[in-house]
Each structure stands twice: as C-alpha cells, then as structure tokens.
Amino acid sequence: MSTFAIGDSDFLLNGEPHRIISGAMHYFRIHPGDWADRIRKARLMGLNTIETYVAWNAHEPVEGRWDDTGGLDLGRFLDLVAAEGLHAIVRPGPYICAEWHNGGLPTWLTATPGIRLRRTDAAYQAALETYLRRVYRIVAPRQVDHGGNVVLVQIENEYGAYGSDKDYLAELVRVTRDADITVPLTTVDQPEPDMLEAGSLPGLHLTGSFGSRAHERLATLREHQPTGPLMCSEFWDGWFDWWGGPHHTTDAATAAAELDDLLSAGASVNIYMFHGGTNFGTTNGANDKGRYLPIVTSYDYDAPLDEAGDPTAKYRAFRDVIVKYADVPAEVPADAAPRPELTVSLSPASRHSGESRASLRGLVTFERAAHTGPLLRYETRLPEGFSGGVLTIGEVRDQAWVSVDGVRIGSLSRTRHEHALRLPAGTSLSILVEEQGRVNYDDRLGELKGLIGSVTVDGHELSGWRTTPVPLDQAAAAPELLVAEGVFDLDAPSDLFLDTTGWGKGYVFVGDFLLGRYWSNGPQRTLYVPAPVTRAGSNAITVVEIEQPVPASARFVSAPSLGPLHE
C-alpha cells in the first residue's frame, strides 16, 4: 500500500515529493467499451492521473433506483485507470456543473417543494448523504492507502461562485470522512479572492480553475493557500458549444504555452478536458445568462483527445510540454483514420399505438409527471365555436410545437423569448413541449420544465388539460413525431460519424442506443457513433424527427463536422 499526503510545499507520495499531471475524463460521457483505450492514451501523453466527476442524476434518475452497472460502473472505471498504472481523482459533487444536465443533481431532488440546494437544508442534506455514501462505498476501498489508486477527493465544486455556507461544507466533510475517505480533500474555485474565501474550509486544500495567466492566478491562489502544493485542478484547454453558436477551439500552441507556464511554476495540473466525450441521450446541460442556450450533443471540448478518441495537434503539443517535466512513454498513439462512409436508405416507420403512458389531469410539469424523457404533450378542447385567437403561454421551457385539430400551426421558443401564437379556428389544441437541456449552474439550477404559468386564448384561461409523457422509444405512436428506420451492414464494429446536414430537429438511435440530439441550428453537423454500439453484420438506425419530413437516407461520413470554428 502507498501513502499520499499534502506536505509543506508538495504532494507527497510515499513521503517523496510528487507532481500530479492529470487529465479529466467523465466515464459517463464515454462508452464503457472505450474506457481502456482512452485511459491508455492518457498515459501515452504523459499523464500520471485521471480525474472524473460523478454524475448523481446518471446513477439515480429515479429516486431510490441506484445504478452503478455498465456505463455507470465507476468502480470498473477506476480499476481500469489503476491497471494502466495511473492514479485517480474523484469529484463526486454532489453538484458538478460540467455542462451536464441539471449540474448533476437529480430532477426528483431539485423539484422537492421548498428545498434549498447547495446549502444547509435538512431534505437536501439527507438525500446527498445517502448519495455520497453510495459513491464512497465504491471509492473508499480504492484509495491509495487501501491498496488502490485514488489520491484526492473533492468537496463540492466551485462553491465560492455560488454560496458561502460553511456549515454545509462542514457537513460534506463530515459525511466524507465518516465514510472512510482518508485521502486529502480539496476544493476548487476560480482564483478570485472572494470565491476562494467563500468556497473552502480550514483543512481543505484549495485549488484553482483557469486556463491562462498562470503565474498571476497561482499567486492569488497562494495568498489563500499559504502552504502545500499549488494546483490548477481545472486547466481549461478548450470550451463547449451550444446550439445556434459557433464551434469553439483554442490554438494548440497557445494552449501548450499556457500549460508550460503552469508546469514551469512547479504547479500540479488537471487538464479539463483531456477527453471530453459525448452528451449521449439527452444529458446535455444549458446556460441562461438572460438567454437560454442549450448545450450540443458533442462534448469534444477541443480537447487533446477528440470526441472519437483520436489524438489531435493539441495532444502532440501538450505531450511535448509534459516531456520537459516528467517521464513520457516513447509510444505515440496512431493518428486518426477515416471512418467508414456509407449511405443507408430510410423508410417511414409504421404507425402503431404502442404502450402509451397514462395521461395526467392539468398542466403538469415534467417533474410532477416524473418524466425523465425530453417530450411532454399537453391537450385540451378549445372553447365551443372558437373562430381563432391569440394563444399566450406564461413561459415555455423549452420549445413548444402547437397543433390545432392535428395540424401543426407553429412553434414557440424559450431561446427566442416567444410566448404567443395566433391560432386558427378549431376544436382541439395540442402542444408538444421539448425539454432541451437543464441549466447546470447558479440560480436556475433545478427549475421546473414544461408549460409554466397560465395558458390563455385572447386573455381567457384554458382548462381541462391532459398531460402525457411521450417516450422516445415509442415515438412511432406519437402523432407529432415522424420516425424513419433503416438497416446497414458493417464488416466489423466501427466508429461512425452520422451526417445530419439538411435534417430538422430530433434524435437518433443506433440499435437501442440513443446517440443524442441533432438540430439544424448547428453548429454540430455529425453525431458520433462509438464502435461498441455497432456490430459486424446488420445494424439498425432510427431517426425521430420533430420539425421536417423524415429524410430518405442517412449518410455516414469519414470525419466529424462540429461546425464553423471560433478561436
């Protein structure tokens, strides 16, 4: 067994000074069949540690139904990191931000009436203690002083940007230590004096999150952490994208020079991200700083290892920097190879009734419906003799498609701040609402989704509503959705890039695996298909389209297209 501690000026591994050179990988954003490959490539770049968040809502989307199997097998992920000879850092939150749905907090928790998130609150703290103890049952036996490889555990996440409840932080520490976590505990905040002061406690080691001006940021950090090693535990080497925006990249040489500045100062580092992965399914988060902007499906992040696990120019540039400060293996991963190109004919799926979910009375939110999928249908009768008028909705979260007597009339977008639409004469009103991604930070964390507030026509409130969840795996039974299906053959399992250019808005399955969302808003134009999702022989593809006629074919292309660049 080893020991890991914080000394006067360094991390100490078995009593000797040790520099952490880490990279972030989120196991829940990577197909488990690819974990070992990505971890190995981290070692080959010169990393000695892998860091991961833990996403509570991925493990427990429904209260009491905990899952740590398959792609959520944190223990197996940590064991694979250990098998590659690397240490691990675990950041369990419970809040993680990470451009991840609801900042990692489950919707059943954040919808609890009166709950106060990320502070001293009985309901919140009881739930998070149960969660943390489940995580620590996995982590504790894998600590370095228990014969494993976990060297650090983080308390909360950039808490100084949100609150300053020291009693809350103390309770997290109590639960953590009581669950037999013995390795050093850290916090992370941007190196702003007020954030560093608010976000930590005596006994917790402060680290910083930044991507430039290393010497300046480290000096600020040192003022608040007078002893021990300096560490940037989120070295931002890229950025994320949102629908309707550009694709963000950073110059590889510039990012490498910033990393060199950080390492030359003697600091430890965790590169955020080393490999970003994908917001598979509907797990993307959103930003809202006056305008709601949902995050795209790709979480490529312009990281050294791209979304498909291929080394980039940034990988090579970072490796050239790291070799100046640490031993780096001679082996270099192979460059990216073109993926198979093929075109697949698609046919409209036959309509069937499916096993429809029971309707609920009233204008019910996603939370009250206990629906973790992205679509809800609201239906009611229009007033007798209705000859047309203006439909007004308090707030749409996040996009609504409005139909009268089964005919699509138009849509309302939260991003565009739309609330009203003129209706023609008719007898029945149906509104399909899509939850496009939950805000992952600040005061909008945990907000309700659906139709919020009153729904009126010419100022008169409509009543008699029925609300029905619309499961994506039963999309062919939903009248508002168009579904196309196809079959394609592969000689062997392979990564693929599905080109969605010219499509409208919707979702794609390969087999029963939900790749994620596509949208003509861009910037993302291809969806990544991990090789373990495919198989030799026949493979099925299903496209669920909301806005346009279903495409006649699906085209797989040789390389990704994540959109026009913004550097």
Catalytically active residues, by annotation: 158, 234
Are 260 and 213 in contact by the 8 Å Cβ rule? The answer is no
Report how far Cα 443 is from the mean position of its chain's Cα atoms. Answer: 18
Q: Kindly give, in sequence order, each residue whose CB lies less than 8 Å from that of residue 44, ignoring residues fewer than 6 positions away.
A: 319, 328, 329, 331, 332, 333
Q: Kindly give, in sequence order, each residue whose CB lies less than 8 Å from that of residue 166, ignoring residues fewer than 6 positions away.
A: 201
Q: Which two tokens stand for residue 120?
A: 């001293």
Q: Which two tokens stand for residue 408?
A: 């699509």
Are 365 and 438 in contact by the 8 Å Cβ rule? The answer is no
**C-alpha span between 321 and 265 (Å, rounded):** 13
Backbone phi, psi, residue 103, to 5°: 60, 20
Specify the amino acid at residue 467. T
**C-alpha span between 337 and 40 (Å, rounded):** 18
- Helix (H) or strand (E) run with residue 40 in it: helix 35-45
**C-alpha span between 19 and 23 (Å, rounded):** 13
Would you tell me how many other CB atoms lie within 10 Å of the CB of residue 369? 19
Are 145 and 183 in contact by the 8 Å Cβ rule? The answer is yes
Q: Which of 150, 121, 171 is nearest to 49 (CA)?
A: 150
Burial class (CB in 10 A: 0-12, 13-18, 19+), 229: buried
Beta partners for residue 177, in sequence order: none
Would you tell me how many other CB atoms lie within 10 Å of the CB of residue 15? 11
Q: Kindly give, in sequence order, each residue whose CB lies less than 8 Å from that of residue 266, ignoring residues fewer than 6 positions away.
A: 19, 230
For the chain, the farthest-separated pair of C-alpha atoms sits apart, in whole angstroms, at 83
Work out the angle at residue 228's Cα, subtended by the Cα atoms of residues 227 and 232, and round it to the nearest 5 degrees. Answer: 115
**C-alpha span between 415 and 188 (Å, rounded):** 31
**C-alpha span between 196 and 190 (Å, rounded):** 7
**C-alpha span between 36 and 79 (Å, rounded):** 10
**C-alpha span between 222 and 121 (Å, rounded):** 32
Q: Which two tokens stand for residue 223?
A: 């003022």
Q: Which two tokens stand for residue 314?
A: 């940034």
- Name the H helices within 387-426: none
Q: Which of 377, 367, 417 is nearest to 401 (CA)?
A: 377
Are 534 and 494 in contact by the 8 Å Cβ rule? The answer is yes
